[in-house]
Amino acid sequence: MDLASPGEHVPLRESHAWIEVPIERRIMSFFTKKISRRMVMQALIALPTLSLFRGLPKADRPDADPDAIVEINGWILKRSDLA
């Protein structure tokens, strides 16, 4: 599955005013922008998985030591394991 960024399909942070809009209207807004149900479902499915990675150290950061030990979700890993 393509792990699309939620920002691409679910523009929840477009403006502060958006937060004040009732949820029903937000949902309707998606469809008015002609986003397919399939795309919405893909984004929703991807969200929980993405949250797992939110706190992960960047394995491919140029300055990161690949041998550094990191603890993620209870796993004791080498940073390079996250690649």
72 binds other proteins (CB under 8 A): yes
CB of 27 to other proteins, least distance (A): 28
Q: Which residues contact 3 (CB under 8 A, 6 or more apart)?
A: 46, 49, 50
55 binds other proteins (CB under 8 A): no
Residues that bind other proteins (rule: CB under 8 A) add up to a total of 15
27 binds other proteins (CB under 8 A): no
Q: Which residues contact 72 (CB under 8 A, 6 or more apart)?
A: 55, 56, 57, 82
SS3 state at 39: helix
The residues binding other proteins (CB under 8 A) are 49, 52, 56, 69, 71-78, 81-83
